Structure 1
Amino acid sequence: MAERVKLHYFNGRGKMESIRWLLTVAGVEFDEFHLTNREQYLKMLNDGDLMFQQVPMVEIDGMKLIQTKAILNYIAEKYNLHGNDIKDRVKINMYSEGLMDLMEMIMILPFSQNLTTKLENIQAKAKERYLPVFEEQLKEHLFLVGGRISVADVLLMECTLMLEEKFAGILADFRNVKSFQGRMSRNEAISRFLQPGSKRKPQPDDVYVKTVKEVFNLNISFQ
């Protein structure tokens, strides 16, 4: 029997949340090991577990993987969530990386100053740069690429929910994206993940921010 996947990260969303989403859709059970102090992080460094001194780190198939994109790609390939051929995969990767760029803007908000300006910038970019791309692609397609669910669809679902948490009604002018969100929410695994008590993490709070700063010995804010 294969060992359960192990996730090493903070008890919060961050870059690990997309990995939680994808494993959930793939039907993979996982255990979480939360960083709560700097000593745990230093031990991982000393043990050689973090190639570039970064988390998330995922233990899967006898490997200790880092770098979010690499982890997502591995899971997508392993569980048939990466398209039908090489052309599908490059399209999926383009959509996925765009979504990760947008979500990262939201992820750093709890560590940022000038929140009003940053929120306005994120909203403008979401409505002018990112959402129109997905609205157009979903005009005649149920999924983004290849006629079936892929990692890009999972990331789009996660991203739209994050946007709605910050900007109520942001999808009002993007009906195809909103319809897509509704279809995805009826996926059995996603439906369970959206219920209280699942492994989905809430929005970051002060405890999460304090823990991240203490573990990484940070005393900075993004301007």
Structure 2
Amino acid sequence: METFLFLFEMLGTIAFAASGAVLGVRKGLDVFGVCFLGLTTACGGGMVRDVLLGNTPPAAFQNPTASAVAVVTSLIMFLSGVRHLLMGNQRRYDLFMLLMDSAGLGIFTVMGVRVVWNCVEAPSLYLLVFVGVLTGVGGGLLRDVMAGDMPYIFVKHIYACASLVGAVICGVLRQPAGEMTAMLAGAAAVFAIRCLSAHYRWNLPHPNA
């Protein structure tokens, strides 16, 4: 189980770091800015979660593994060959961002739920979902604000709602189905909802609709 959790978290870290770094490249940041944006996207949500739960210093400061993976991923995204591959085609760029951001969102949403289960005695479903969504969307929110964009959570296809559904599924299934099954089901639900909403252009109501 520990190996699964480590690999699962690293996959989410790589996905979110890649999305942050590629956005930094698109914004014309230098290599430090690209790495910082990738690192913030990968670790920001978890840091906010840990501070909220009183787990200080945050896990990102106690174990440098996730930070190192995020920085290495960002450096790879900064390589000229990768930059040209993704920046030369808008459709390819959009697809890459969708897949990476959706994977990171799903994984960190359920990781947030798991952290609450392990550090809070008899947590309510509301707390599980709240912290799960905060962990999932936190890094992307910081990324978009730092890059000067309107955050995905406010404008993109069913973003926070996908995280909310995944957190509910994970929280409800944990006891009857087991931790691993609940986390995989919750993350898969987030990923599927995000991809389907992008493909079919599902959006929440807004004033200009």
Q: Same fold (TM over 0.5)?
A: no
Larger Rg: 1
The answer to which structure has the higher helix fraction is 2
The answer to which structure has the higher strand fraction is 1
TM-score, L = length of structure 2 = 0.30
TM-score, L = length of structure 1 = 0.28
